[in-house]
Amino acid sequence: MEDRRVGETFRRLMSSLMTFDYVVVFAYRGKERPIDLYSTFDAKDHVLFVSLYQAGPYLLDPFYHAACAPKPGVWRMRELAPDRFFSSEYYRTYYVQTGLAEEVGFFVPVSGQATVVLSLMRREATGSFSAAEFALLKKAEALVAALVRHHWADLDRRFDAALARTGRGRRKMAHPPADGVWRHLNLTEREASIIELVLQGHSSESIGLRLGISTGTVKVHRRNVYRKLGISSQTQLLSLYINSLGH
State pTM to two decimals: 0.88
108, 25 in Cβ contact below 8 A? no
Helices (H) and strands (E) in the chain, counts: 13, 5
Q: Tens digit of pLDDT for each residue in 164-200?
A: 886 654 444 434 455 667 777 788 899 999 999 999 9
Q: Tens digit of pLDDT for each residue in 97-139?
A: 899 999 999 999 997 789 999 999 999 999 999 999 999 999 9
The residue ranges of DSSP E strands in the chain, in sequence order, are: 22-28, 35-39, 73-76, 100-109, 115-123
State the Cα angle at 41 between 114 and 151, rounded to 5°: 35
CA nearest neighbour of 41 among 33, 32, 28, 50: 50
Residue 118 makes CB contacts below 8 A (sequence gap 6+) with 10, 23, 25, 105, 106, 108, 144, 148
